[in-house]
Structure 1
Amino acid sequence: MVLVHGYLGGSEQWAAEMEQFSDRFHVIAPTLPGFGTAAGEAGYSRIEEMANHIIALLDRLHVDDFVLLGHSMGGMIAQSIAAMVGDRVRKLILYGTGPLGVMPDRFEPIEASRERLGRDGVDQTIEQIGSTWFCRGSEAPEFALVKRIGASASRSAALSALDAMSVWDGRTALKTMEMPTLIVWGDHDRSYRWPQIETLWTSLPNALLSVIPGTAHAAHLEKPKLFHAILEDFLSN
């Protein structure tokens, strides 16, 4: 099972999922270059480059087939991986993500995030962006975790990732991705609005949709038991 984090994320955010699924899977949760514990590495400016980075890692580990889960920007990366090496993806989970990197109706335009990042740095950027990932905002108990992980990213990698998202469009590849796919979405997600989710659901040939009520962009942290139950049901069938 391969878990791909999103913008200003890191492998630490998957601690509960690694514990939940490690009895049945070898769980691989890489940290993308430039983020989290890999902040010292140069980041990428294209989603496809990030996808190739993950594929190269799996090749080195001799992982021939796998369950793939991508969250947010990681969901874009997961879509690219599935488009490139779909025969190796046993099942696909697209969580809090969509087929368009520009994210129409996002809580703020990507350009506004880029300006804040350049003006105020990573610390202030994750403070603002991370608070939108929870229904309770910065008062959510889990906010401290995403803030700490996000603040460790390098500014250059964070800027490059915004560039990567702003030019990425995965819609044309959706019809070719025939593996069983689960789309997971929090009904208060302010990053990926319903039209993006609907496009995934209606365009992917073999897709199921699960909406988690009362959660925003970080449903796996807000309601982990329900999140795990939904994944367990999908993986067991």
Structure 2
Amino acid sequence: MIQHDHQTAPTQFVEAKGIRFAYRRFGKIGGVPVVFNQHFRGTMDYWDPAVTDGLARNREVILFNNAGVSSSSGKVPTSFQEMGANAIAFVKALPLTKVDVLGFSIGGMVAQEIAVQAPDLVRRLILVGTGSRGADMSTSKSAEIFAGAYDPPEHLWLAVHFSPSASSRAAGLAFLKRKLLRQDRDPEVSEEAGAAQREAIGKYIAPADSVLAYLRDIRQPTLIVQGSNDVIIPTVNSYTLQQHLPNAQLILYPDANHGSFYQYPQLFESQADQFLASALQDGDPNLRPSERLPFPSIVSAAGNFCL
């Protein structure tokens, strides 16, 4: 059997709900695969190979374009609840009955909706650079960053994902080099799809009574990963998630912006791998206390407790 990686995994298609979903899967077969949900205007080619190939050493990784995104057919819905329902349909069409779910940015919002709508499908969650319904975006610089001009245009993603410091920018340039290695690439996201995603963001962050109540129903062990100064989805939103999710841990990376796990891919891989492999309290009555490996609620990038 050919062993594929981020660069060589072929694009495949599966149909569900009348949508032809594009996806790629690679890594170690057996166990629970991890399904990646992408950020605003992102495609399968926008993931960092250092992250995807790193996690694929010990488990199968599944990348996909949700409905209306890039090489998938259909239209992008204007709500994350609908995007979550489409993602569930995609997973079940593979067919899979249990997955771990990773969501980055708006993909993290979709990941939460997957867990709410199909709790028996999701074993564990990893939420990176994201927020809850009613997220506080008052200090976000997203609009001005995406409206800016960049030369070359790809440097938009330096501003989105990395801080202005020399070390963070160097990590960003290394990320862009890795990101562009694949030759067989997805089409870019259309303006129509981007507009629908923006509309979904507006609906999701709208204030409402008891807007955080849904988080009580997401009982899966959840790892929240965030940069110390996220200017796209402000860092405070990750604290909110950790405080309201019943079984969540938070990792903060220093001098890091929205794409914190792209700045520290090896560290993220190690911590995410430990989270996914460890015997956490995820509803298994057969686990003895000595078999469980609890995480602290909040850790620093080095894995130390934060006070």
How far apart, CA to CA, are the structure 1 residues paired with 2:186 and 2:255?
A: 23
CA displacement at 1:128 relative to structure 2:
4.4
2:271 maps to 1:230: yes
1:1-237 map, 5 Å? 1-12=34-45, 13-38=47-72, 41-100=74-133, 103-109=137-143, 116=147, 128=156, 131-136=159-164, 140-141=172-173, 142-143=175-176, 145=179, 152-169=188-205, 171-237=212-278
Deviates more, 1:190-199 or 1:11-20: 11-20
Deviations 1:91-135 (A, max 9, x none): 1111110103663321145xx689x49xx9xx97x7646523212
Alpha-carbon distance between aligned partners in 1 of 2:159 and 2:268, rounded to the nearest angstrom: 20
Q: Give the direction of change, closer, same or farther, for the CA distance of 1:138–1:35 in structure 2 (3 Å limit).
A: farther
Whose helix fraction is larger, Structure 1's or Structure 2's? 1
SS class of match (2:65): coil
Partner-residue secondary structure (3-state), 1:9:
coil
Report % sequence identity.
26
RMSD: 2.9
In structure 2, the CA distance between the partners of 1:113 and 1:222, relative to structure 1 (3 Å rule), is closer
The one-letter amino acid paired with 2:196 is S
Structure 1: gaps (5+ residues): none
Q: 1:128 to 1:173 in 2, by over 3 A?
A: same
Aligned residues: 227
Between the two structures, name the one with larger relative contact order (CA 8 Å, sep ≥ 6): 1
Whole-angstrom distance in 1 between the partners of 2:94 and 2:66: 16
Give 1:236 deviation, angstroms.
2.4
Counterpart Cα distance in 2 of 1:108 and 1:24: 35
Q: How far apart, in 2, do the equivalents of 1:172 and 1:202 lie?
A: 12
CA distance in 1, matches of 2:187, 2:120: 36
Could you tell me the TM-score, scaled by structure 1's length? Answer: 0.83
Q: TM-score, normalised by structure 2?
A: 0.65
**Distance in 1 of aligned mates of 2:98 and 2:83:** 19
Is the CA contact (8 Å cut-off) linking 2:145 and 2:156 kept in structure 1? no
Consecutive aligned runs of 4 or more in structure 1 exceeding 6 Å deviation: 148-151
* Distance change in 2, residues 1:200/1:226 (3 Å): same
Structure 2 unpaired stretches of 5+: 1-33, 206-210, 279-307
Confirm or deny: 8 A CA contact 2:36 2:61 kept in the other structure. Answer: yes
Larger % of strand: which?
2
